[in-house]
Structure 1
């Protein structure tokens, strides 16, 4: 028996519809989310001052929940920067150049390497690392620059980022919004990530090879390949040693995570702590006496990147945290005593009105994921996907984790850097290709992948 819906519930629904509407018109939803928090708080407390303070409290709550994720990404970017400047990154990747002998090997080598590095270093730093070192080798082997950009996009911003099994930023956002343990969402996402990744990358490869055999012209590089001059901060032997040691340290982390069953915040802390130790060690080796000041500089760069990525996410996440346990902590105990949270209450009410099915739920979550990815972020709207997955699973009676994972995967594939042109700029710039042309080439493989993944999700719910 469901709880009787109150004004708070209806205001929440109104603002979800508003957020979806603004996303459809490609408008920013930050202001709508903030207004939503104010109005919901006022509807609950009937106090203007309480409504205003609730906004600030909601931001504190959201930042507190997201801070481990923001922190680990910032530290990893800081570490990536010192590896780039010292040339350790080139030493890590250069052994793979000998595998790139033809277009097929170039596509799969770059793609799989991009996926592996993106799991640990985040796709944005990985793009610069892979592109700078392997692009000239791949082009020489016969793979067009556009093909290199496709491989980096689909494997990095697609497979690695949508699952995000190591850093766990994406499942943290969606699991919080859905009110689920992060481990449940990660486990549910594994088969969907495999299906989506396999279908999309194989389809893209088949189309790419077909066009190469037909002699179809590909756009040439729009800029020459420049050799970046690096200061010799480390000897060749030291770079090689660190290039071997760093992957080993992260592999040990993965083994510890598996053995000790570390997930969520514990796994994030292990990865972040390891990255921080590596950052300091390399900084001391490279900058000697100046390492104290240089370490701070690298960390500032990392924090600037981290908050730039999550700046738009915080207000939206703050709004969707109201749908679950965050309501009492942010606004207060104003819901009916029998309430299980706004989203759960709405799900039960929806089930009594509309007979939802697994098929409708899966298609809807794919649609929500596509919609939330239209802003080109991939992350700013996945809280909405988690919240709606919770709502629909309550109505269907099952499949919360699978629906949440489906929404997450769809949103990040669309907005995280494979279809939206302005999200493709980093990879396009590194490879010297037009981001709109790259988006066009990715469109059909990603669409086919989304259709197949949605169908598979229907059987897993």
Structure 2
């Protein structure tokens, strides 16, 4: 059923273009999103007070929708902090150091291990977990620091973060914006992420080997101990025997979670809750062992540290998500039912109108989503714009008549690979700092593999729709 577009639809579309413009200009989009919420509210309610209240209420709506994602990330970071400070993480990774004998093995083992840990802990904590132990080992066998940075970056901030199969933060944002079940987006993303991951990591490896052979990059006199942990005095507060026990038990416990998720068919919020609850118990148990009678206070401190990290990461996301949630059910929740009687939401209405006016094809849709996703990643967050990618995917999927999940996955992959990130220099600082390399040099080395990967993934996406 064709819905007649009114002023609200055109205002919403205008602000989408404005947000894209600010992202291209590498400016923050929060103010534009807030203004968009205000204007939509004023035009619909004709009340200054209601439109001002709508800004705050839209933030509440967005936070309620995102709180599970924010909380799981916070809990995981809190747990990883205690594992780092007690040195348990070193023991967990130590067996892999015995497998690293050549530069090639160093690249692939560090990359794959980074990917696995990032799925459970997210890349930021994983950077510290991997870098502390494996960077000196890689340099010892002949893989330069820039090679370690590339491997950690592509596998962690690229493959793991763009897929986010375990914590499911990224697919939660995009699936909500596209009004799809999270499982549908994850299923559509698996072959695309596989293609993207293979192309980028293999190309980067080939370029590294070529430049090592030509002498363009060398293993210089890099320090064997680059990574200095904070709170070194914490490392020995647990005995070596206890560290070994925890290092064995923690992976087993998370493996049990995965088995439970598979057998009980837990997905989305249920799967996240299982991982989050497990992480809290691990944090509590390790804290009790490490801090004895001070554990009660320390547990709270670790949780607070995690929450600070979580809200710092998602702070820029909330205003953007608040605006884009207005494109679906959020509008009625925040401002009331001011849309046309047969409206299916601002985004769906625009999609239906587009379907009746502009012939779209899977090729046009796929290319557009890759471009839009990449543009949204230019702010260096990766997450602040994936709600937009989901909304645009919903619009195009409605117009084409199919493929919304594939388009959503393409936008998610592009946004996070660019801004989450492997191309935007200011998103590469954690990895660059750990490996003591120039973030701009790391971005330049990633550029060709990632661009080629996005092109190949787009072609595959076209055939999947």
Q: Confirm or deny a common fold (TM above 0.5).
A: yes
Residues 310-332 of structure 1 show CA distances to partners (whole Å, capped at 9, x for unaligned) of 00000000000000111111111
Shift of 1:336: 0.9
The aligned residue for residue 421 of structure 2 is 417
1:74 & 1:220 partners in 2: Cα distance?
38
Shift of 1:33: 0.3
2:328 & 2:219 partners in 1: Cα distance?
49
The aligned residue for residue 242 of structure 1 is 246
Mapped pair 1:358 → 2:362:
yes
Mapped pair 1:90 → 2:94:
no
The aligned residue for residue 183 of structure 2 is 183
Q: Tell me, which stretches of 5 or more residues in structure 2 are unaligned?
A: none
Secondary structure of the residue that 1:99 maps to in structure 2? coil
2:247 & 2:130 partners in 1: Cα distance?
14
- Worse-matched range after superposition: 432-441 or 210-219: 210-219
Q: 1:272-287 counterparts in 2 under 5 A? A: 272-287=276-291
Task: Give 2:395's match in structure 1, choosing from 379, 391, 394.
Answer: 391
Shift of 1:226: 5.1
Secondary structure of the residue that 2:360 maps to in structure 1? coil
Shift of 1:42: 1.2
8 Å CA contact 1:145–1:220 kept in 2: the answer is no
Residues 338-365 of structure 1 show CA distances to partners (whole Å, capped at 9, x for unaligned) of 1111101000101111101000000000
Shift of 1:214: 2.1
2:14 & 2:39 partners in 1: Cα distance?
11
The aligned residue for residue 382 of structure 1 is 386
Structure 1 stretches of at least 4 aligned residues deviating more than 4 Å after TM superposition: 219-224
Shift of 1:230: 4.0
Mapped pair 1:14 → 2:18:
no
8 Å CA contact 1:368–1:385 kept in 2: the answer is yes
Shift of 1:48: 1.1
Shift of 1:222: 7.3
Mapped pair 1:339 → 2:340:
no
Mapped pair 1:164 → 2:168:
no
Task: Give 1:329's match in structure 2, choosing from 327, 333, 347.
Answer: 333
The aligned residue for residue 348 of structure 1 is 352
TM-score by length of 2: 0.98
Residues 252-311 of structure 1 show CA distances to partners (whole Å, capped at 9, x for unaligned) of 111111111111111110110000000000000000000001111111111110000000
Shift of 1:216: 2.1
Q: Tell me, which stretches of 5 or more residues in structure 1 are unaligned?
A: none
Q: 1:259-298 counterparts in 2 under 5 A? A: 259-298=263-302
8 Å CA contact 1:221–1:431 kept in 2: the answer is no
Distance of aligned partners of 1:23 and 1:261 in 2 relative to their CA distance in 1, 3 Å threshold:
same
2:253 & 2:71 partners in 1: Cα distance?
19
Residues 380-423 of structure 1 show CA distances to partners (whole Å, capped at 9, x for unaligned) of 00000000000001110000000001000110000002111111
The aligned residue for residue 60 of structure 2 is 60
1:386 & 1:226 partners in 2: Cα distance?
38
8 Å CA contact 1:70–1:310 kept in 2: the answer is yes
The aligned residue for residue 461 of structure 2 is 457
Mapped pair 1:315 → 2:316:
no
Residues 98-148 of structure 1 show CA distances to partners (whole Å, capped at 9, x for unaligned) of 111000100000000000000001100000110111000000010000000
TM-score by length of 1: 0.98
1:284 & 1:196 partners in 2: Cα distance?
42
8 Å CA contact 2:74–2:307 kept in 1: the answer is yes
1:225 & 1:13 partners in 2: Cα distance?
49
2:120 & 2:221 partners in 1: Cα distance?
29
Distance of aligned partners of 1:449 and 1:414 in 2 relative to their CA distance in 1, 3 Å threshold:
same
Secondary structure of the residue that 2:193 maps to in structure 1? helix
Secondary structure of the residue that 1:353 maps to in structure 2? coil
1:398 & 1:186 partners in 2: Cα distance?
16
8 Å CA contact 1:79–1:275 kept in 2: the answer is yes
8 Å CA contact 2:144–2:217 kept in 1: the answer is no
8 Å CA contact 1:221–1:433 kept in 2: the answer is no
